[in-house]
Structure 1
Amino acid sequence: MTELLILYYSQGGAVKEMAQLIARGVESVPGAKARVRTVPKISANHEATEPDIPASGAPYATLQDLEECAGLALGSPTRFGNMAAPMKYFLDGSTSLWLKGALIGKPAAVFTSTGSMHGGNETTLLTMMIPLMHHGMLLVGLPYSEPQLGTTTSGGTPYGASHIGGARDDQPITDEEKKLCLALGKRLAETALKLQ
């Protein structure tokens, strides 16, 4: 079984829901399995502010999760056009994997949720790709053969799946956004299987 890591940080719940949809897309591919993980909140001085084990939901990610995966889907809400600090903090701690080239050649995809239509979803997706490229990962986006990219009036980009949540993250994920999350997970899994 080829296992793909769906690693996310979510504050309002939208990115968590997207991660679950991407995991479903991964598992729609025979021979592929999703390992869903999250990261804890951090304080301004970069210390975890949550217990070592989450009370509910996905377990916290470890570097071993990254090393063992055959591919990665990375998700974060947008913070000023970039990923949220907890995800950046986790990735900043992955130097030991970079030193030994543990992620080189593995496929990766990115996803995000923003508060508004022009709230930085594309810049967040692009900046999330940068550390993955430093790790030598192969980026997988969404091709325009996905019909929802041409019809969506909310989230969805060729760089990865996205959602427009509204200022309070109270807008539900649209059907088009859901289909693009599923498609991204499926494409990531198919790519990982082909690369193996």
Structure 2
Amino acid sequence: MAPVLVLYYSRHGATHQLANAIAKGIELAGATAMVRTVPSLHDATGEPDDSAPEKGPPHVTTKDLESCSGLALGSPTRFGNMAAPVKHFLDSTSQQWLQGALIDKPACVFTSTSSMHGGQETTLLSMMIPLLHHGMVCCGLPYSEPALHETQTGGTPYGVTHVSANTQKKLSEHEKSLAIAQGKRLATLARKLSLQQEESR
């Protein structure tokens, strides 16, 4: 099975933490996680900064997107919506849409905010829209996960989240548990869909 792509943008590291926990869940499910970021945008021009990241995962390429068996897409919340670098990248995937490169691949979304009611759910829903246009199969997180009932921090059925308040920079135990569970679920669905597609050929 092709790797599962964990693609995110993180300004201060909170979304990065979720990405790593989701990647861990993917690996625990027996799949390969391919972790990538989207470039920041230059303040003056609004164009992507194509210089290689000084640390952390490399920037995503269209080949990464086309070849993955599933996608976890993450962004911090910006006024209840995804961050501009993530939207800019998605806007550049018209060729993949024309090719149908992502049709029937599973996807999930994740986000982080600095407050409990900072627009997490609207951000997650807004991130799903372009994925649905690509024909992807969006998967949330079912309430069979105990932490979803118990969490007093992040976590929604639409996708995993983190509340990055001043006193809570690291993922809570519930957030970490849910992110790992999300990665496992995405990898399991990717495997099932990949096998189904192989059998239908």
Same topology, TM > 0.5: yes
Shift of 1:60: 0.1
Measure the CA separation in 1 of the matches of 2:124 and 2:97: 21
Map 1:35-114 to 2 at 5 A: 35-44=34-43, 45-48=45-48, 50-114=49-113
The TM-score normalised by the length of structure 1 is 0.95
Is residue 13 from structure 1 mapped to residue 13 from structure 2 by the alignment? yes
CA RMSD after TM alignment: 1.2
Q: CA deviation at 1:115?
A: 1.1
Residue of structure 2 in register with 1:2 after alignment: 2
Moved more, 57-66 or 39-48: 39-48
**Counterpart Cα distance in 2 of 1:172 and 1:58:** 19
What residue is the counterpart of 2:191 in the other structure?
Answer: 193
Q: How far apart in 2 are the matches of 1:28 and 1:2?
A: 16
Q: CA-to-partner distance for each residue in 1:104-135, whole Å, 9 max, x for gaps?
A: 00000000001111100000000000000000
The structure in which a higher percent of residues are helix is: 2
* Deviation sequence 1:69-93 (CA, Å, 0-9, x none): 0000000000000000001000100
Shift of 1:4: 0.3
AA aligned opposite 2:177: K
In structure 2, how many angstroms separate the alpha carbons of the residues matched to 1:54 and 1:157?
31
The number of residues matched between the two structures is: 193
Q: Matched residues in 1 for 2:168 and 2:85: separation? A: 22
Q: Distance in 1 between matches of 2:130 and 2:107?
A: 11
Does the aligned pair in 1 maintain the 2:81–2:122 contact within 8 Å? yes
Query: What is the CA distance between 1:52 and its match in structure 2?
Result: 2.1
**Secondary structure at the counterpart of residue 121 of structure 2:** helix
1:174 alignment partner, one of 172, 175, 191? 172
Q: Tell me the secondary structure at the aligned position of residue 2 of structure 1.
A: coil
Deviation at 1:20, TM superposition (A): 0.6
**C-alpha separation in 1, matches of 2:93 and 2:141:** 26
Residue identity (%): 57
Offset at residue 36 of structure 1 (A)? 0.2
C-alpha contact (below 8 Å) 2:81/2:126 kept by paired residues? yes
Shift of 1:9: 0.2
Runs (5+) with no aligned partner, structure 1: none
> 1:140-160 CA distances to partner (integer Å, 9 max, x unpaired)?
110000001100001000000
Q: Secondary structure at the match of 2:52?
A: coil
Partners of 2:111 and 2:98 in 1: how far apart? 28
- Is the 1:46–1:89 contact (alpha carbons within 8 Å) kept by the matching residues of 2? no
> When the two structures are superposed, what TM-score results if normalisation uses the length of structure 2?
0.93
